[in-house]
Every structure is written in structure tokens, then in C-alpha cells.
Amino acid sequence: MAKTDTKGETARSLRTPKKTSPASRPARRPASAKTETPYHHGALREALLQAAERVLERDGLGGLTLRAVAREAGVSHAAPTHHFGDLTGLVSELAAIGFRQFNAAMASACDAATSPLERALARPKAYVAYAQTHPGMYGLMFRTERLDYSRPSLQEAAESSFAGLANAIGAMRQEPISGDALTIEQGAAIARAWSMVHGFTMLLLDGRLEDILERLPDGTTAEQLLEAILKSTVAGRLSAS
């Protein structure tokens, strides 16, 4: 009977790695999974909208695509389509968020005012300040051709914004204003106030006020220029009341 070469067997076992069964091997993650961020189903929609806002403010409306948003959120390219249908759906929901932020900023500024003059100035100043802080979002909110106003969220947020403006003008005129039915005088007052503040905002964002500011005393800011415009507009009404 042959003797067993235990030393040789031991040496061979050390040199030859043991084969493992497929079941015992750790599963390899797909390469694409490394770049994707897991979200709870209910949180993915919000994450996509947050990603869309970042892309919008960083790259402008031209850079806002479904693929760019998916890449920013770290999810599959199909995710935005699943939640919003198409790019119009996505930007419409994003604009609704913008209007809600916009409305909240103006309401907060009005609540903090402590005098009639401060209240008269608070809303338009907050309007311009929001646009300066969120120029991409502000621009999107007024790009009507890119938005679907049949979406309830956008329609409700935009209507709320108009109602806030109408109420502010009604307070200035010391009369209630219904957003559903306006007199020509009420409509003219709303259009005048909106045109003035929106026009100032667009000139400011486009850098078109620099020529005026450079001619003013050193240190004069755009906010001070706006305040001077507003005071010249509302001072007479406040003193008459």
C-alpha cells in the first residue's frame, strides 16, 4: 500500500486556489448603477424637480433637457419621462414651483412691513429680489409658449400670483378687486403696476440699467433706484388716503 504524500498535497493546495461556485460569488453591480442615486418612489419626482431647477439656473433654459435633468439627479434617462411625460410637462411643473416660491417671497415681505409705505413697497421690491436671486426660474415663469397652463398645479400657482397683485392694487385704491371681473380702471391699474415692475426687472436682469446707474451718485444701487420709482408712484395715493 502506497504512502500518502501529505506534504506534497498540502503544497499543491496552497498553490491552487479553490474554485467557488457561481452562487457563492458576490454579484457584480452593473456599471451604470454606480452613477445612479436610489430614491424612494415618492421622493424621485421631487428630486427630479430639484435637479431641473439646478440645471435651469446653471445652464439656462436652453440647457434644460430631460436627459440633463436625469443626469443631474443621477437616475435613468427614462425617469423624467415616467413622471412628467415630456419636457413641456417638466418645465410646467417647475414653473409652478417658481410661482409658489415667488408668491411666498412677496407675501412674507408684506407681512414684515410695519407701515403703509413699507407695505406698498414690499411686494414690488420682493418681486425684483426674487428675480435677481432666481433669474432662470423667473425667466421660465413668463415663457408662456413653453408652458402648459392646463396643468392644475401651474394654473393654480399663476392664478394665486395674479390674485396677490390684484389684492395689492385693490388695497392701494381702497376698493375690493375681484380677479374674475375687473373694471377698465382696475385693469389699467393692475397692468400699469405690473408693467412697471416687470419692465424694471427685465432691464435689470439684462444689464440695461447700468447706463443709468453709472450716472447716479456713487454707490447708488438698483434697489435704491427702484425704491425711488415706487415712492414717486405711491406717495400721492398714500397721502390722499
Q: How many CB atoms lie within 10 A of CB 88?
A: 13
Of the candidates 141, 160, 35, the residue with the CA atom closest to the CA atom of residue 91 = 141
pLDDT in tens, 96-129: 999 999 999 999 999 999 998 999 999 999 999 9
The predicted pLDDT at position 155 comes to 97
User: Residue 64: helix, strand or coil by DSSP?
Assistant: coil
The predicted pLDDT at position 180 comes to 82
User: Residue 16: helix, strand or coil by DSSP?
Assistant: coil
For residue 139, name the pLDDT band (cuts at 50, 70, 90): very high
Contact assessment for residue 113 and residue 122, using Cβ atoms and an 8 Å cutoff: yes
Contact assessment for residue 57 and residue 136, using Cβ atoms and an 8 Å cutoff: yes
Which H or E run contains 127?
helix 116-133
Q: Is the pLDDT of residue 11 over 50?
A: no
pLDDT in tens, 34-59: 345 556 556 899 999 999 999 999 99
